[in-house]
Structure 1
Amino acid sequence: MPDLRDKRDLESFAAALADELPGQWRSQYHRHAEYRDQFPLAEDVWDMNMVTHAIVEVVLEHNAVLTRDDGARLYVIGRPRHDDEFLVGAMAPPGFAPEAFRGVREPDGIAVPDDPYRAADDITVDLLPRYDKAVAEVQHNAAHPTPPTPAPAPAPERVVLTWFGDGLLAAKTTSPEAAKALHDNGFTWDPREMAFVLSGDDTAHQAHCVQEAGTQLDRHGIGVITRHPPARSALETTAPPPPPPLKPASHSR
């Protein structure tokens, strides 16, 4: 950690700078007894450029904070390795939630000459307009918070109907309303397969049951998905027999 002893009269410079800036400013000078003393105030520095770099990379002996009568603050330190310049950075306004700063660009600080008159001119023309603009954006965000992103809508309930090669129809669902509709229309629960099944022995009756169940499910806003038979029946427990001959077209849905 570089320890660049800064012998510049920062206290006098900051006081003179406060007198030259437009508006009413006061200066507070802070000397650091230890390295860690430079961080409590520096946490509010609103900068992602050379001011923050200097705070993190260099042991600073002192800093000054200029405060305007409306609460705006400027952070002043000597510029490392440049004995004739100072760094001036904006400090974030207190009292705002982190969400208010989202999307607001940091008003990065600037290097100014050690002449307080010229430095005040640079700050007035460059830093303060960007600083005031950023603060206004934060205030606007705080007054008009972005509504939270709504949670995605739950997937619609549905019943999966699978037609098997022997005419058997199996239905799976996790909805109590769907389970009742299936049971009310001839489907029986098979606990081994965890599915409601409907025999295809009487295809006319089967078609009627499916139609009635679909009407009842629709009233509950529950959709129906129909699937073709899998390559190997999910309801088989023994080796598959040879494929049966195709049933007449009237036997399929």
Structure 2
Amino acid sequence: MPDPHDNHDLESFAAVLTGELPGTWASDYQQHAEQADQYARAEDVWDMNLVSDAISKAVLGQDAVLARDDGTRLYLIGRPGTEEFLAAAMAPPGLPPEAFRGVREPDGIVVPDDPFRAAKDITTGLLPRYDKALAQVQHHAARLPQPAPAQAVKEQVTLMWSSEGPLSAKTRSPKAAAVLHGHGFVWNEAERAFFLPGDDSAHQAQTAQAIGAQLTALGIGTVVRHPHNRPAIDTIASPALQRAKPAVRTR
């Protein structure tokens, strides 16, 4: 349970402090019923001294996170057993752990219960250390090897002709799917494919040509696959060829 002897008026202190610090700040004050509740809020506290020690050993019951419009964040708690407060910087999110390696934490400081004096102490003491540590971390992050960019997947539609069924199509492109729907294709969840109802081969051929032209205009490729026992569209079966004589290999 939270310490019943903690009489810090942290909420009012944090609210006044936001108006005295340089820049535009907002305060997010919360109360915690159990010690475990404060850990999630304090996860990014950039401190290995007084503040981290208080978080790990005391049931604080309340904390406040101050955030500036440039992303800078401060963590505020009452200092157990005193009328003072503790203020610590919070590490910037979204940077890899390797970027923090070798960078000294901008440990938090003790500030008086006067928010005007506390603002001065934070401005002259804590924030400069935070800015220095942040610059080092960002410098390290910029020098880390960057992952290779993912290869862009070209949008395309695969049209499949069947000698015993309707024209089908497969695609992962939402734009292509819209084109298929517009030409009467119906989605089949079991086959994970689109199907054009009917068995009129002439209608299928005309639809395939219309789809191909529309997809090309959208920058989407079209791949046509034919069964082995069915000729391609607009092709004429070749006349039977006479059996050729076996070729003779020469040295």
Secondary structure (helix, strand or coil) at the match of 1:93 reads: coil
Equivalent positions of 1:1-253 (< 5 A) are: 3=3, 5-83=5-83, 85-145=84-144
C-alpha displacement of 1:35: 1.8
Matched-pair contact (CA < 8 Å) for 2:26–2:66: yes
Cα deviation, residue 2, structure 1: 9.1
Contact 1:27–1:66 under 8 Å retained in 2? yes
- Does structure 2 retain, via aligned residues, the 8 Å contact 1:47–1:89? yes
Deviation beyond 6 Å, 4+ runs, structure 1: none
Identity %: 67
Give the deviation of 1:146 after TM superposition.
7.1
Q: Return closer, same or farther for 1:19/1:2 CA change in 2, 3 Å cut-off.
A: closer
Give the Å deviation of 1:47: 0.2
Q: Structure 2: how far apart are the matches of 1:79 and 1:32?
A: 16
Cα displacement (A) at 1:144: 1.0
Q: Give the secondary structure class of the aligned counterpart of 2:102.
A: coil
In structure 2, C-alpha distance between the alignment counterparts of 1:125 and 1:68, rounded to whole Å? 16
Distance 1:98 1:109 in 2: 20
- Offset of 1:135 from its aligned partner? 0.8
Q: Tell me how far apart the structure 1 counterparts of residues 135 and 79 of structure 2 sit (CA, whole Å).
A: 28
1:3 shift after superposition: 3.9
For residues 47 and 37 of structure 1, what CA distance do their matches in structure 2 show?
A: 19
TM-score (structure 2 length as normaliser): 0.56
Instruction: Say if 1:26 and 1:68, in contact at 8 Å, map to a contact too.
Output: yes
Match of 1:155 in 2: none
RMSD between aligned residues: 1.7
Letter in 1 for 2:26: R
Q: Distance in 2 between matches of 1:32 and 1:2?
A: 7
8 Å CA contact retained: 2:27, 2:66:
yes
SS of alignment partner, residue 106 of structure 1: coil
Q: How many residues align?
A: 146
Which consecutive residues of structure 1, in runs of 5 or more, have no partner in the other structure?
148-253
CA distance 1:89–1:4, change in 2 (3 Å): farther
Matches of 2:50 and 2:4, distance apart in 1: 16
Paired residues of 1:4 and 1:80 also in contact (CA < 8 A): no
Asked which structure has the greater CA Rg, the reply is 1
Deviations 1:73-102 (A, max 9, x none): 00000001112x100001000000000000
Q: In 1, Cα distance between the equivalents of 2:103 and 2:7? A: 36
